[in-house]
Amino acid sequence: MKKTIHTLTFLVCYTISVVLTGCQPAKSVEPPAPLLPVPSENQLAWHEMEMNAFIHFTTNTFTGKEWGYGNESPSLFNPTELDADQWISVLKEAGFKGVILTCKHHDGFCLWPSEYTEHSVKNSPYKNGNGDIVKEVSDACKKHGLKFGVYLSPWDRNHADYGKPEYITYYRNQLRELLTNYGDIFEVWFDGANGGTGWYGGANEERRIDRETYYDWENTFKIVRELQPNAVIFSDAGPDIRWIGNERGYAGETNWNTITPDTLYPGKAGIQKLLNTGSIDGSHWIPSEVDVSIRPGWFYHAEEDSLVKTPEQLFNIYLNSVGRGSVLLLNIPPDRRGLIHENDIRSLQGFRKLLHEAFSNNLAIGATVKASSYRGKSSQFSPENLIDGDKETYWAMDDDVMTGSFELEFSEPQTVSYVLLQEYIPLGQRIKSFRVEVWNNDEWETVSEATTIGYKRILQINPVKTSKIRIHITDSKACPVISNVEIYE
């Protein structure tokens, strides 16, 4: 009897709700299934850093070379005013989220007192041999809230065993030191330049190695996974982050986070073009990093003081790297004093100012937004999510809908110069092409056409005054899923 009353009560309430709302209570709508491959948690955290700094520093700073031969005396290494706190506060101020230090470059000189070699700071005049620059920089990063990463050159022009199996043991011992003694490491950078002439413990000869097999990378990567499970591993070919294929500061206009790594290995020749764009049907998520120096060289040379990239050049590099879905790794090399040079600081400050001027007043906030359709007509996937400032919410359409649009209407006409879009990449990279249209003389006018979006895409358009802007997705691998749109003057 009690059960019958309950059932009756339910039916009455249900009928009232249907009559009052005119429709059945909302069904929950499933989110789109991930389009594989998708980023790992470590990769996602790395994408969000957007801008990191590279620091190149070794005996080269004192000899004027770019690639030390390996026979440089440690007594040359003498930065008398070294101040890691200055480095990191300058870099933080400029907007960098992480720092990668060349703990050992090709010349083999170690910025930390490695127990496996005498070729290090411990035999230099720096702090009378008691210094540890890896420690100073990692401590400064901790103090200022930046993440710290290490570069340990596989090629070592100093070491007698380079080219023999014994060197791999030496290399791994050093890697263990770096990954054990300096706290959390966010990225481990494996350089692709390998083998050639060198001092090699006095042999003074050329040593070629088989780039594909010599390093036995798989077992070296295991050490990183074991000692720093949250770190991403960079090399030309991944496994977590790939090289962008040039050192001039630009990603491909088409830039897929996906690539098929089977045939890639660090240092392999002839793959630059592929690395620059990735591949639409790549089997793995291996996003690109754009490494470029603020100066012509990677190391500080006084004669390049007048050749520091201008704020405008750096801004352009930003648009061509971060603005094309990559992470920027900008090198800022300390000088012989052990300080970031005044000219570099000036450029970084100007760069920061340009970024601030361009991207501080988001016109999308306060605009009204509507879309051609949205998934299951559920508010969970509505176009409002595009401008709610929440990176976990997104606009999505039904599974079989690969093209569609959303538009933003401003309360009064605005001048628009930049359109910033972000796909919700935890569900994979989907969009193949899109166009930007503005409302002009009572019709839509196309002002830009582009291909991929990925983590972030910033399109610069000729400044145009308009009351409405529309983003039209023209092709997609699976239903588009966009988490964010920003519009700037």
Which residues of this protein are in contact with ligand FUL, per CB under 6 A?
A: 66, 191-193, 291, 298
Q: CB 269 → ligand FUL: shortest distance, Å? A: 13
Between 92 and 105, name the residue whose CB sits nearer to ligand FUL: 105
Q: CB 347 → ligand FUL: shortest distance, Å? A: 19
Between 153 and 414, name the residue whose CB sits nearer to ligand FUL: 153
Output the residue with the shortest Cβ distance to ligand FUL: 193
CB contact at 8 A, 455 and 423: yes
Q: CB 196 → ligand FUL: shortest distance, Å? A: 10
3-state secondary structure of 463: strand
The rounded distance, in Å, linking the Cα atoms of 153 and 194 is 9
Between 56 and 97, name the residue whose CB sits nearer to ligand FUL: 56
Q: CB 155 → ligand FUL: shortest distance, Å? A: 8
Identity at 471, one-letter amino acid code: I
Between 104 and 457, name the residue whose CB sits nearer to ligand FUL: 104
- β-partners of residue 311 are none
Between 125 and 297, name the residue whose CB sits nearer to ligand FUL: 297
Between 100 and 453, name the residue whose CB sits nearer to ligand FUL: 100
In our burial notation (b when 16+ CB lie closer than 10 A, e otherwise), range 212-242 reads eebbebeebbebbeeebeebbbbbbbbbbbb
Residue 60: partners with Cβ closer than 8 Å, 6 or more residues away: 66, 67, 68, 105, 107, 299
Q: CB 463 → ligand FUL: shortest distance, Å? A: 36
Give percent helix, percent strand, percent coil of the chain, each to the nearest 5: 30, 25, 45
Omega into 333 within 30° of 0, i.e. cis? Answer: no
Structure tokens at 274: 């592929």
- Tell me how many degrees the CA angle 79-99-92 measures, rounded to the nearest 5: 90
Which residue has tokens 């595009």?
386
Between 148 and 298, name the residue whose CB sits nearer to ligand FUL: 298
DSSP secondary-structure letter at 250? -
Q: CB 162 → ligand FUL: shortest distance, Å? A: 15
Helices H / strands E in the chain, number of each = 10, 19
The rounded distance, in Å, linking the Cα atoms of 172 and 206 is 23
**Cα 425 to Cα 383, 403, 443, distances in angstroms:** 17, 18, 33
Q: Which helix (H) or strand (E) holds 346?
A: helix 342-358
The rounded distance, in Å, linking the Cα atoms of 115 and 286 is 34
Q: CB 38 → ligand FUL: shortest distance, Å? A: 29
Q: CB 184 → ligand FUL: shortest distance, Å? A: 22
Q: CB 158 → ligand FUL: shortest distance, Å? A: 15
Q: CB 299 → ligand FUL: shortest distance, Å? A: 8
Q: CB 298 → ligand FUL: shortest distance, Å? A: 4
Paired sense of beta strands 327-331 and 288-293, if any: parallel
Between 193 and 363, name the residue whose CB sits nearer to ligand FUL: 193
Between 92 and 104, name the residue whose CB sits nearer to ligand FUL: 104
CB atoms within 10 A of CB 128: 8
Between 298 and 394, name the residue whose CB sits nearer to ligand FUL: 298
Between 298 and 318, name the residue whose CB sits nearer to ligand FUL: 298
Backbone angles phi, psi at 462, to 5 degrees: -60, 130
CB atoms within 10 A of CB 357: 12
What sign has the CA pseudo-torsion 180, 182, 184, 187?
negative
